[in-house]
Every structure is written in structure tokens, then in C-alpha cells.
Amino acid sequence: SPIRTAFNRAHAYDQQAMIQARIAEKLALGFAQVPQKEKLYGLELGCGTGFLSRLWLERLPHTHLLLSDIAPAMVLRSQTNLQSYPQNTLKFFVMDAEAPCLNASFNLIAASMVFQWFHHPAASVANLLNLLAPSGRLLFATLGPDTFQEWRSLCENHRIPCGLHHYPSADFWFDLANKQKISLELSEEHISETYPST
């Protein structure tokens, strides 16, 4: 897929993905709400190079964690970056988060900056909810409809296609939670980034 190809080629991802690292840090604040257990079974979707993974392992060190990504190169980088953590509790896996090929049950599933790539977000999230153990939690950070608003406006003013995805709104996520009969806590943050040119 184009997404797999793009992330496989992202050799300087750690150096260029400052916003992604910041978002992972914010998402990791949700780990404080996870009930402490002797053994916690976790699944990370889109582990990338390990931004969220490191925070997860530091804050919930008793986790048996399955780390997955659609791009094999990202899985390999994550393995390298997480070598200092106990390897007997980590497993790495190449997997499309929209089509999880797992027969397991998790106390916690987390995804930072993954859901915006989903072609069928409602069905995909429903599949992920089926992988949760009773009282399990799904934590995720994704992009909203105002993402790259300046670029969208510029393209609209010049009547040219912007080439961006349309990202679901908060209402979409609340409607999905209602249909799935689950509670949803949602917070929204606007992050400004300045670039020297278009």
C-alpha cells in the first residue's frame, strides 16, 4: 500500500516527526488512568520508531506488549530503539491496524497518529474493540477536520486540489461510541507549526 511504502522510506522519521513525538507524550498521559495489574496485555498499533512505546514501557513497565506497524522498516527501527527494555515482554509484528489478524485479548490498545490513515474508521475501530478484554481500554490520538487548515484555504483560494484526506470530526467519534455502547473521553488540541515557505 502507499502508506506502507511511504513509512518504509521514512529514514529520518525520528528527526522530522517532532509533532508526532509531542502528540505521543500527550496520549501517554492516559496511561495514568489504566488500572494497575500484575500483568497487563497491551497492543500498540502503528508503533513507528517507538515514540509512544518508550513512554508506555516507562509508565506501565509490567505490560506484555505487542508492537505492530504496517511498515516492516518501522517495526525494525522500533526493535532497535527498544533494545534496552526487557525483551521477554515485547513482541514485534507487521500488521495492518485496519485488519488485525490476532486471536488475543488486550487490557489496553493504543494508537498514536494511526486512525487518520483508516479507509473505514468505524468498522476498523469496531474490530479493535472486539480485541479488548472486559474493562479494557482503547487510547488513540488522531487528526481532526481542521488539520492543515491554512493549506486547505490556500488551495481553495487558488482553486487547486489540496491532496489531503478528510479527517473525522468529534461528532463522528461520539456517534461511533454511542453505536458501540461505550463511553468516550475526547479532548481537542490545536497545534500551530510554522514553515519558512509553502
- Whether the per-residue pLDDT at 6 is higher than 80: the answer is no
pLDDT-derived band of residue 3, with 50, 70 and 90 as boundaries?
low
Q: Give the residue, 33 or 192, on which the prediction is more confident.
A: 33
- Whether the per-residue pLDDT at 7 is higher than 70: the answer is no
Please give the order of strands across the beta sheet that includes 63-69: 90-94, 63-69, 40-45, 106-112, 132-141
Q: How far is CA 27 from CA 24, 52, 165, in A?
A: 5, 8, 22
Q: Quick one: pLDDT at residue 13?
A: 47
Report the b/e string of 118-143 with b at 16+ CB within 10 A: beebeebbeebbebbeeebbbbbbbb
42 with 108: CB under 8 angstroms?
Answer: yes
> pLDDT, tens digit, for every residue of 34-66?
887 778 999 999 999 999 999 999 999 999 999
Q: Quick one: pLDDT at residue 110?
A: 98
The structure's pTM equals: 0.85
Percent of the chain past pLDDT 90, that is, above it, reads 65
Closest to 66 (Cα-Cα) out of 75, 74, 161: 75
Q: Quick one: pLDDT at residue 176?
A: 94
129 with 62: CB under 8 angstroms?
Answer: no
Question: What does pLDDT average to over the chain?
Answer: 88
Closest to 98 (Cα-Cα) out of 114, 78, 77: 114
Dihedral sign from CA coordinates of 60, 19, 94, 100: positive
Q: Give the residue, 150 or 113, on which the prediction is more confident.
A: 113
Closest to 26 (Cα-Cα) out of 105, 87, 83, 110: 110
Q: Quick one: pLDDT at residue 149?
A: 83
- Whether the per-residue pLDDT at 113 is higher than 90: the answer is yes
CB atoms under 10 Å from CB of 145, counted, come to 14
- Whether the per-residue pLDDT at 170 is higher than 50: the answer is yes
Q: HSE, CB side, 13 Å, CA atoms: give it for residue 72.
A: 1
As a whole number of angstroms, the distance between CA 81 and CA 78 comes to 5
Q: Quick one: pLDDT at residue 10?
A: 47
